[in-house]
Amino acid sequence: MNAQGNVSRPTDRAIQDSPSICTPLPQATTTDMPPSASRPRAGVDRLLSERDREVLLALGKLRMLTGLQVQRLCVADGSPATRARRTRALLQRLADLKLVVRLGRSVGGVRAGSSGYVYGLSGNGQAVLATSGPVGGRRRRVWEVQPSFMDHLLAITDLYVSLIEADRDGSAELMTFEAEPACWRRFPGGSGEPVTLKPDAFVRLGIGDVELSAFVEIDMGTESAPTIARKCGAYISYYRSGIEQNQHGVFPRVVWLANNPRSLGRISAVLHRLPREVQHLFAIAPTTAAVTALTDPGLGGPMA
């Protein structure tokens, strides 16, 4: 056990994640869902296949998926053309059952076609999960979001999909992936006031005989140096509280991921200004190397 999130691996898995684009679907333009929209039609959950449920559970966990992410996550078998065709049929079926909606924005440019559309759960989809799956809690409205926030959510989703693919090919065992708000931590501040630490994700991986855990922060080029410093300060305060270590035996690494060199440089500069005794808690990497960073037991500290 050490402060960088490494412990000997237990024999059981904490969570079983399913590893397995798309014609235009009704766009999400609703505000508050009426009561009838939040109740599944009688027996609809009995019509769902295992793959249908995989998509709904992924949306319940992650809030948004592109058509291509659905394909990578849930339709892993067959040729590229076969996978694309099956994914189109899968999403169309869920749309016909009124369980998913297509949000009013695509990603990846015109050539991305249907695979670039973004999907979310409808009110019916949320209700089906509440009655037939392990996802509970308050139901959200079907909403449109700012492009920058959508990009951020999809970056978290892409990290999850990449880790599922790493699990599938045997390079890592994905034991836990918690997105917001499941990954948040509450602890008392310096004056006893409640503080909520809000990582973008919490990840637990098995690498050989070692178990690695990490809080993940994804910067899409929008975080200022003061914001980064403030977030790092919150992690340091949580580390010094000892709560995570007492409950889980280890404090996870805090892995900052950024999508451009300027953001990486800004994060690195902030980390170098932290007290030396806590710099080992943090690591940074480009988003393109996220899986490598999260599966490296020795990665720690700011970039040189």
Band the pLDDT of 133: cuts 50, 70, 90: low
Bridge partners of residue 68, in order along the sequence: none
Give the C-alpha distances (Å, rounded to integers) separating 228 from 3, 135, 189, 231.
Answer: 21, 32, 18, 5
Residue 277 has pLDDT above 50, yes or no: yes
Q: pLDDT tens-digit profile of 79-104?
A: 999 999 999 999 999 999 999 999 86
The residue assigned the tokens 């960088």 is 4
Helices 80-96/50-62 angle, 10° precision:
80
> Which residue in 133, 243, 123, 137 sits closest to 181, CA to CA?
137
Amino acid at 265: G
14, 90 contact by CB (below 8 A): no
In CATH, which of 1.20.950, 3.40.1350, 1.20.140, 1.10.287 is domain 151-294?
A: 3.40.1350
Cite the residue boundaries of each domain of the chain with CATH code 1.10.10.10. Answer: 35-144
pLDDT of residue 149: 87
Rounded distance between C-alpha atoms, residue 91 and residue 74, angstroms: 11
In CATH, which of 1.10.8.80, 3.10.20.30, 1.10.10.10, 3.40.50.300 is domain 35-144?
A: 1.10.10.10
Mean pLDDT of the chain: 83
Band the pLDDT of 260: cuts 50, 70, 90: very high
110 exposure class (CB count in 10 Å sphere: 0-12, 13-18, 19+): exposed
Band the pLDDT of 192: cuts 50, 70, 90: confident
Rounded distance between C-alpha atoms, residue 302 and residue 292, angstroms: 16
Mean pLDDT of 235-263: 96
Rounded distance between C-alpha atoms, residue 130 and residue 138, angstroms: 9
